[in-house]
Amino acid sequence: MLHGERVTLRPQELEDIKQLHLLFNREIDLVMCGYGNWRPRPLGVMEHWFKKDLDDGLQAQFLIEVDGKAIGEIGLHPWRLNRRDGTAELGIGIYDPEYISKGHGREALDLLLEWSFVNQNLRRLWLTTGATNERAIRSYRSCGFMEEGRLREEEWYDGEYADLVVMGLLRREWEAHRAAQAER
Amino acid sequence: MLKGEKVILRAVEKDDLKRLWELEQNVDLLEWSQPDWMPKSLAAREKEYEKQIEERHAERIDFVIEADGKVIGRIGIVHQNRMAHNAIFGMGIFDREYLGRGYGRDAVRVFIDWAFRILNFRRLSLDVLAPNERAIEAYQACGFREEARLRQHSVFRGQPVDLIYMGLLRSEWQHVRAARP
């Protein structure tokens, strides 16, 4: 478990899928849920995926918990974890509307970054996000991520084609960023 | 099969596996697209091939590139997003004799014409290691442009190197195609 001031990251368990399913299927903000990737998902399907990942030996994702309540998930995409190059793609979703724009996502990101660079010895983390998701881009920037490019019209987003932004953060940049923040 | 000026693109047959496996031993050529090359037996390749047929993987679409009656490389779609109508592809010429002579470029042209005209994609993209200038030039000649540079994303011959993402939209392809002789 990784503890922040308000946020805890812990491995997802089968019982947690019920809560994630609830968050995913109530009145949702599609942008928050990856927009185009969202579709109605029966609980049985989500539990099946969870068990299949276990069978395939895939590393579990973290559950983001606040006050003992699951609000979203975060983790490194198992297919984009490259041990030889020391790189990984990360993903985060805060699915509980009550916890948007209050800094919980940022805190979860800081915990994941520290774990990835310090405990997992990764050299570079990267991510992609829709260009229209300005809230997310601001949050990634504040963690030290830098925009590395835009894949033009890669995404179908809210009825229109939109660019996909690629962001990256090298370990030495993260160290410098963290030191600068500690001084403030 | 798809015909270009110099090459033919066709499905990978079981009989091609031996030749592809032999080409795969040209590590200094393979590592441009597979910087983490490691030995794989012909038996392992045959098994992968069988598995792919059984799974009927709709996501991947593989071609061999043939010139003068022999297989010189491969090209194909590695990922596709049917909702956003885009696809990521990869290409490699692994026969030394056919490098730097326009065969790869011809294969890419034939391939993208197929992807836009027949498969109805509206955007194609690829990634390429920054030091691979020959490939970048060929992709640019086909209309692709650099869209992102992932800093020190890969390790090539012992050095951290950037990975470049390139993209081509259908509207741009139409211009490039109209300008072809």
Structure tokens at A156: 């179908």
A85 contacts B154? CB cut-off 8 A: yes
Nearest neighbour of B150 by CB, restricted to A150, A153, A168: A168
Rounded-to-integer distance, Cα A130 and Cα A80, Å:
18
Dihedral sign for Cα B57, B60, B150, A34, please: negative
What is the ipTM metric for this complex? 0.87
Question: Domain locations in chain A?
Answer: 2-183
Q: Is B159:B150 a contact under the CB 8 Å cutoff?
A: no
The partner residues of B93 in beta bridges, in order of sequence, read B73
> Which residues are CB-contacts of A35 (< 8 A; sequence separation ≥ 6)?
A130, A155, A157, A158
Among candidate residues B178, B94, B107, B96, the one with its CA nearest the CA of residue B139: B107
Q: Is B23:B135 a contact under the CB 8 Å cutoff?
A: no
Topology of domain A2-183, CATH: Aminopeptidase (3.40.630)
pLDDT tier at A41 (50, 70, 90 boundaries)? confident
A29 has a pLDDT exceeding 70: no
Counting Cα atoms < 13 Å in the Cβ hemisphere of B24 gives 16
A154 contacts B84? CB cut-off 8 A: yes
- Which helix H or strand E contains A171, and what residues bound it? helix A171-183
Nearest neighbour of A84 by CB, restricted to B152, B155, B167: B155
Pairing label, strands B123-129, B86-93: parallel
Nearest neighbour of B152 by CB, restricted to A150, A154, A170: A170
Question: Domain locations in chain B?
Answer: 2-179
In this prediction, residue A32 carries a pLDDT of 55
Among candidate residues A38, A131, A137, A156, the one with its CA nearest the CA of residue B123: A156
Q: Hey, what amino acid is at B16?
A: D
CA distances (Å), origin B147, targets A150, A154, A155, B108, B159: 6, 11, 14, 18, 23
The tens digit of pLDDT for each residue in A66-115 reads 999 999 999 999 889 999 999 999 999 888 888 988 999 999 999 999 99
In this prediction, residue B4 carries a pLDDT of 96
- B152 chain-A contacts, CB cut-off 8 A: 123-124, 170
CA distances (Å), origin B55, targets A26, A51, B50, B77, B172: 35, 20, 9, 16, 35
CATH of the domain spanning B2-179, picked from 3.90.45.10, 3.30.70.3000, 3.30.460.80, 3.40.630.30? 3.40.630.30
Percent of chain B exceeding pLDDT 70 equals 99
In the 8-state DSSP scheme, what is residue A117?
I
Angle, vertex CA A57, rays to CA B30 and CA B53, nearest 5: 55
Scanning chain B, the segments in alpha helix (DSSP H) are 17-23, 27-30, 42-55, 103-117, 133-141, 170-179
* Nearest residue in B to A88, CA atom: B153
Q: Which residues of A touch B (CB under 8 A)?
A: 36, 84-87, 123-124, 126, 146, 148-156, 161, 166, 168, 170
The tens digit of pLDDT for each residue in B123-142 reads 999 999 999 999 999 999 99
Q: Hey, what amino acid is at A54?
A: L
A150 contacts B151? CB cut-off 8 A: no
In this prediction, residue B181 carries a pLDDT of 79
Nearest neighbour of B150 by CB, restricted to A36, A84, A126: A126
In this prediction, residue A33 carries a pLDDT of 53
In this prediction, residue A57 carries a pLDDT of 86
Angle, vertex CA A129, rays to CA A14 and CA A22, nearest 5: 30
Nearest neighbour of A154 by CB, restricted to B123, B151, B152: B123
Structure tokens at A180: 């600068």
Q: Which residues of B touch A (CB under 8 A)?
A: 36, 83-86, 122-123, 125, 146-155, 160, 165, 167, 169
Among candidate residues A86, A78, A147, the one with its CA nearest the CA of residue B155: A86
In this prediction, residue A60 carries a pLDDT of 76
- B85 chain-A contacts, CB cut-off 8 A: 156
* Nearest residue in A to B86, CA atom: A154
A181 has a pLDDT exceeding 60: yes
**The model scores a pTM over 0.80:** yes
**Residue of A122, A126, A154 to mutate, testing the B interface (most B Cβ within 10 Å of its Cβ):** A154
> Which residues are CB-contacts of A182 (< 8 A; sequence separation ≥ 6)?
none
Of B56 and A16, the one with more pLDDT: A16
Least reliable range by pLDDT among A35-39, A97-101, B21-25, B37-41: A35-39
- A153 chain-B contacts, CB cut-off 8 A: 122-123, 169
- B144 chain-A contacts, CB cut-off 8 A: none
